[in-house]
C-alpha cells in the first residue's frame, strides 16, 4: 500500500499502487494505516470471525443433510473427514462438560 500524509504525519489517502500523491510505501500491518482504514481488531478479530463462520458452515451442512438436500456421501472425502473429526472432537469435549449448551448441537 502507498499513502499520502498531511503535515502532521497522519495518513489522509491510501492507494494500492504508487501514484503522484501516494508515494510512501507502508505494510498492511502498519498501525497508522490500520487506524486510517478503521481496522481495530486486526488478525485476532478476523481469526475469531473465521472460527465462528466455520461453525455456521458446519451447522448449515448438517441442516442440509437433515433435510435430505445433500447426503454425507455427496461431500468430498476431505470435507467428510473434517466433519467427522470435528464431530468427534465436539463429542469428546461435550462429554467432559467443556462446552456450553449452545455448542451442543452436532
Q: Is the pTM of this model over 0.75?
A: no
The confidence score (pLDDT) of residue 103 equals 47
What is the per-residue DSSP string for 29-96? T-HHHHHHHT--SHHHHHHHHHHHHHHHHHHHHHHHHHTTSS-GGGS-HHHHHHHHHHHHHHHHHHHT
| Percent of residues, the chain, with pLDDT higher than 90 | 53
Among candidate residues 70, 96, 95, the one with its CA nearest the CA of residue 83: 70
Mean pLDDT of the region 37-51:
76
The confidence score (pLDDT) of residue 96 equals 67
The confidence score (pLDDT) of residue 37 equals 86
pLDDT of 18 > 50? The answer is yes
Amino acid at each position: 500500500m502507498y499513502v499520502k500524509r498531511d503535515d502532521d504525519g497522519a495518513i489522509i489517502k491510501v492507494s494500492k499502487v504508487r501514484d503522484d500523491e501516494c508515494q510512501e510505501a507502508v505494510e498492511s500491518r502498519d498501525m497508522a494505516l490500520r487506524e486510517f482504514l478503521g481496522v481495530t481488531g486486526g488478525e485476532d478479530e478476523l481469526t475469531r470471525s473465521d472460527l465462528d463462520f466455520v461453525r455456521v458452515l458446519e451447522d448449515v451442512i448438517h441442516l442440509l443433510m437433515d433435510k435430505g438436500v445433500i447426503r454425507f456421501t455427496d461431500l468430498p472425502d476431505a470435507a467428510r473427514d473434517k466433519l467427522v473429526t470435528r464431530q468427534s472432537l465436539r463429542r469428546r469435549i461435550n462429554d467432559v462438560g467443556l462446552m456450553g449448551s449452545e455448542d451442543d448441537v452436532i
